[in-house]
Amino acid sequence: MFTIEFFRVRGTDDAHATLGRVEHDTTDLEDAKVRAWSLFETLDLPQKPDALRIVDHTGDEVFVWSPEHNST
């Protein structure tokens, strides 16, 4: 189980504001990444996110991505 979090980043101090979270029931991180990238453009959120991160079932961050830094 992974949780995909979408967030905005404030440029002045790099503060993060979470816009939304989606749980994805899979054991495969690559599958979670594909789902996250798909949702990045299509999920109805109050604002357009700057980036996303994926955390595992223990809350550990396992992946971070933004279109600007495209660190796939």
pLDDT score recorded for residue 28: 95
Give the C-alpha separation, 49 to 8, whole Å: 5
Residue 58 has which token pair?
């223990």
52-64 mean pLDDT? 96
Higher pLDDT, 69 or 25: 25
Determine how many CB atoms are found less than 10 A away from the CB of residue 3: 15
Give the C-alpha separation, 40 to 8, whole Å: 12
Percentage of the chain surpassing pLDDT 70?
94
pTM for the predicted model, two decimal places: 0.86
53-60 mean pLDDT? 96
Q: How far is CA 16 from CA 27, 31, 39, 52, 55, in A?
A: 27, 25, 19, 10, 15
